[in-house]
């Protein structure tokens, strides 16, 4: 019992091996895992493209991609209409696919265990900022600067401070929700690894299956919130 407590105290939280590139410090494990996740997504897309049959009979991988695109397209159409901002469909689909693979990448057997890069706040914050900046740019393009500003300064006036707080909270909640769930999952795996080896396999399998389920849910939530934020920005443009 004492040995387990000592080992548990040795678990480091939020520490990453680092390297410097162009004067910027980066987390090596996050960068490697992000490249792997992006590579897997691109490879799946290329494989699907190569398997497209001239006869028009879709393969299993193509069916998965088409089902995902159709689902996202339906959500966008119901929210504000695909024609208003058609790029939101591929954006939400790509975000879901990338985040899902990034959440699951740690199950790939490698000599140096890959981490889920989404358990690093730097990646989730970067994606959240990208989405929200894109949302505001699109809102200005569709409504004009003054028209978009009225979305935040219109009546009732007493809500203006709360609207400002909401805009600040959006990227924070988008980033922290994904980061928190995946970080907690990685921490639990480290804690389970302290159990005796003869019983280790059972909680490891159960938790990893549960962690994969949570990873799928979080990827879907991120994509759905992306669509919702674009809906708020351009919802009246059509």
Indicate the domain borders of the chain: 2-234
- pLDDT, one tens digit per residue, over 74-112 is 999 988 888 888 899 999 999 999 999 998 887 766 656
Of 98, 117, 108, the residue nearest 27 (C-alpha): 117
Token readout for 54 is 């001239």
Considering the entire predicted model, what is its pTM? Answer: 0.82
Q: Are 38 and 26 in contact (CB under 8 A)?
A: no
CA distances from 129 to 110, 122, 170 (A): 31, 11, 9
Residues of the chain with pLDDT under 50: 1-9, 237-238
- pLDDT tens, residue by residue, 169-199: 888 888 888 877 777 666 666 666 666 666 6
| Bridging pattern class, strands 24-27 and 18-21 | antiparallel
């Amino acid at each position: 019992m004492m040995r387990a407590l000592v080992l548990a105290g040795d678990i480091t939280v939020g520490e990453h091996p680092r390297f410097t590139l162009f004067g910027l410090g980066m987390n090596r494990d996050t960068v490697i895992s992000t490249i792997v996740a992006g590579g897997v997504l691109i490879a799946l897309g290329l494989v699907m493209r190569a398997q497209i049959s001239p006869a028009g009979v879709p393969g299993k991988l193509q069916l998965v991609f088409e089902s995902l695109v159709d689902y996202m397209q339906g959500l966008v159409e119901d929210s504000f209409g695909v024609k208003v901002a058609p790029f939101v469909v591929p954006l939400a689909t790509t975000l879901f696919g990338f985040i899902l693979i990034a959440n699951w990448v740690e199950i790939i057997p490698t000599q140096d265990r890959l981490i889920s890069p989404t358990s690093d706040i730097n990646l989730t914050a970067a994606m959240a900022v990208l989405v929200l900046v894109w949302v505001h740019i699109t809102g200005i393009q569709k409504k004009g600067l003054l028209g978009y500003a009225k979305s935040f300064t219109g009546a009732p006036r007493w809500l203006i401070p709360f609207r400002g707080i909401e805009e600040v909270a959006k990227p924070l909640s988008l980033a922290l929700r994904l980061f928190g769930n995946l970080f907690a999952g990685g921490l639990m795996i480290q804690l389970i690894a302290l159990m005796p080896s003869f019983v280790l396999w059972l909680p490891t399998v159960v938790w990893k299956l549960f962690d994969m389920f949570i990873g799928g849910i979080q990827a879907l939530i991120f994509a759905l919130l992306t669509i919702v934020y674009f809906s708020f920005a351009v919802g009246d443009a059509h």
